[in-house]
A and B are shown apart, each in its own frame.
Chain A
Amino acid sequence: MKLLSEYRDPELVRRLLGKIEEPLTRSWRIMEVCGGQTHNLVKYGILSLLPQAITLVHGPGCPVCVTPRRLIDQAVELAERGVVLCSYGDMLRVPGSRKSLREAKAGGADVRMLYSPLEAVRIARENPGREVVFFAVGFETTAPANGLAVAHAAREGLRNFSLLSAHVLVPPAMEALLTDPDCRIDGFLAAGHVCTVMGCEEYEALAARHRVPIVVTGFEPLDLLQGILELVILLEEGRAEAKNAYGRVVRREGNPEARALLTRIFARVDREWRGIGTIPGSGLDLRSEWKAFDARVKFALDPERSEEAGECQAGKILKGILKPPQCPLFGKECTPIAPKGAPMVSSEGACAAYFHFAGVASGAETKESAASAP
């Protein structure tokens, strides 16, 4: 992966940091929507390098973190009812109301960690006597592959494969944040991988409607800094536009084949986001013509909502309104080993990032800790 090292050049990083500082006349609060970007901002220590005037707020962009308890409970219930329950690795740790999938596995349920939904189709093919459910989590980025798995299963005439869909969509979540009266975000770094599939048009409308600049941004250190630079320029010039700073990967129209597949298999539905609540049109469920592959229909799952942990302030943290340490559960009942709320679950969550930085005392770390704070 030599190609990537070019996007991690320390000298170019220094130069870009200088360029970001140049036009700054005031401080700005920028939200990176995507958890993958949060992860890399932390992994490369970029938060510690940015000028003080820039505060990065970590958004709700970790699909694992925002999957509501109700869906985890349904997945656990299916696993305990004897299906082969398959999902991506980081989904296994997220706690439901009673337990996580990993705990269900320890209790004897057949829970399998996969890297591809097509693997679940293979398991269904090889185990005709067993029901196989793929717990499909992810944004617009992973949804096409999950849709493809359904199409493959249908083509093969498999009757023992189904999808428990927990897909979430980014633009409706950004819309929800922007219409929240407490929102104090000056500009967004939009998730590059999502735009690879969906294109940038939705973001252009969003920027114009809410008078907020949005820059489509990649994931490597130089991509992230380039995105921040372009956003800072838009902010300083008072231009509420959507820009694509990830042109090497993202086309304005996205990936037409993947979009067509999504439209063919899925329909937009209202979706509950863990810690935030229901966001209209923010989820993807299987269309009615694919209901034979819809685990909710097939297993007549209880649609009732589950209770969130009472004092958990995840919603306010995901919206950038509260700092993680301001939550009464932070670091006490809620830790990465026993997470109560979504942002403590994966390394992409703001609470987990705060937790790991706590007590690492030096100037740089104070800045890092402050970086994800409102």
Chain B
Amino acid sequence: MNPAFSCPLPKLDFSEIQLGHGSGGMLMQKLLEPLFGLFSHPALAEQHDGAIVSTAGRIAITTDSFVVSPLFFPGGDIGTLAVHGTVNDLAMCGARPRYLALGLILEEGLPIAELWKVLCSIGQAANDCSVAIVTGDTKVVERGKGDRIFLHTTGVGDLHPEAAISARRMEVGDRILLNGPVGDHGVAILSVREGLSFESAIESDTAPLHRTVLRLLDRFGSRIHFLRDATRGGVATVLAEAAQQGGKGIEVEEARIPVGEEVGSACELLGLDPLYVACEGRFVAVVAPEIAEEALLEIQQSGWPQAAAIGRVAAEHPGKTLLRSAIGGRRPLPLLPGEQLPRIC
């Protein structure tokens, strides 16, 4: 993050979002004017129906919606999450993120100060990730018909020439790498959620991953077989999906998967499995065995000192993921049938 980034609330004649802000008329223009300064890019300044941009060759496109509650949480907010989430989805394709389209769905009555805070976060995160917000859309829904702010982003990135990322490229013997401790984001959100709030120092792990991924691709090219960021469903879901989509077996060691002490304790108390708790800055890389050690070092040196090799791709049990527990037992890591619900006993 750039500490010098300053983002004062612009002088406006209104303090809350009104239905008219989505009307397409003067009120809307008034609301959006400061945005062009905040997200300054020639394509956006054109105020055209779409953005005209150039890219290097093969591109990756991704789209995502953000409906997190609460909007602000320890370590981030919906704005940083939206930028990082989209940047990371592009990175996992093996692409350098370049452009973002931003959709805002605002609820009538939303304080402008809150909107501005979120927009500043978006601006700062985009700046940090070197991506440009080049086009957008704003809608306002009646009070009670939204949850203050919903964000929708579409990202475009230039594909790395060496990128060939697919679960189908996983081979028996490949190693599975993870860039850091799991579950911090999900537990940070829970810690401030209404009806549950508990004191903790846990902050969201939200972070952009593209720089690390691009370093891996620059150095190891197509020997990086598969990449996936662990968002909803956590690292267990990523592994279960990878096994399913790649038709290979996956085996991981619980003792090698880093879990922060506070996150582990909170999950213990709530009856949740940290391996299934959401992350926003964690990714799994499946790499050829001969580069595993160097690739791990590369990840560690690119800002993830706690990165770990957590397992391997196996010939046995195709399509399934098995976990060797910390005490040496084995259990499957299946896809959850629904959301992870806390147990009562």
Query: Given A10-B328, A112-B195, 16 other A-B contacts at CB below 8 A?
Result: A10-B327, A13-B328, A44-B331, A45-B325, A45-B329, A48-B331, A90-B341, A102-B338, A113-B342, A115-B195, A115-B196, A115-B270, A137-B344, A138-B344, A360-B332, A368-B331
Q: Contact check, B273 vs A43: say whether CB atoms are below 8 A apart.
A: yes
Q: Which of B264, B326, B341 is in CB contact (< 8 Å) with A92?
A: B341
Q: Contact check, A1 vs B268: say whether CB atoms are below 8 A apart.
A: yes
A347 CB contacts on chain B under 8 angstroms: 343
B323 CB contacts on chain A under 8 angstroms: 45
Q: Contact check, A4 vs B342: say whether CB atoms are below 8 A apart.
A: no
Q: Which of A43, A115, A138, A336 is in CB contact (< 8 Å) with B325?
A: A43
A8 contacts B by Cβ under 8 Å:
yes
CA A4 – CA B266 in complex, angstroms?
13
Top 5 closest A-B pairs, CB basis?
A: A45-B329, A89-B341, A336-B337, A1-B265, A88-B344
Classify chain B: how many residues form its interface, as a range: 20 to 34
Interface residues of B (CB under 8 A from A): 195-196, 261, 264-265, 268, 270, 273, 316-317, 319-320, 322-332, 334, 337-338, 341-345
Q: Contact check, B331 vs A89: say whether CB atoms are below 8 A apart.
A: no
A359 contacts B by Cβ under 8 Å:
yes
B268 CB contacts on chain A under 8 angstroms: 1, 4
B330 CB contacts on chain A under 8 angstroms: 45, 48, 364-365, 368
Q: Contact check, A359 vs B320: say whether CB atoms are below 8 A apart.
A: yes
CA A14 – CA B324 in complex, angstroms?
15
A195 to chain B, nearest CB (A): 13
Q: Contact check, A47 vs B329: say whether CB atoms are below 8 A apart.
A: yes
Classify chain A: how many residues form its interface, as a range: 35 or more
Q: Contact check, B317 vs A365: say whether CB atoms are below 8 A apart.
A: yes
List 16 A–B pairs whose Cβ atoms lie within 8 Å, in order of A's numbering. A1-B265, A8-B327, A14-B328, A36-B343, A45-B327, A45-B328, A45-B329, A47-B329, A88-B342, A90-B341, A114-B195, A360-B320, A360-B332, A361-B317, A365-B332, A368-B330
Q: Which of A49, A114, A141 is in CB contact (< 8 Å) with B328?
A: A49
CA A63 – CA B345 in complex, angstroms?
8
B261 CB contacts on chain A under 8 angstroms: 1-2
A25 contacts B by Cβ under 8 Å:
no
CA A213 – CA B219 in complex, angstroms?
63
Write the chain A residue with the least CB distance to B273. A43
CA A276 – CA B303 in complex, angstroms?
56
B296 to chain A, nearest CB (A): 23
A86 to chain B, nearest CB (A): 10
A364 CB contacts on chain B under 8 angstroms: 330
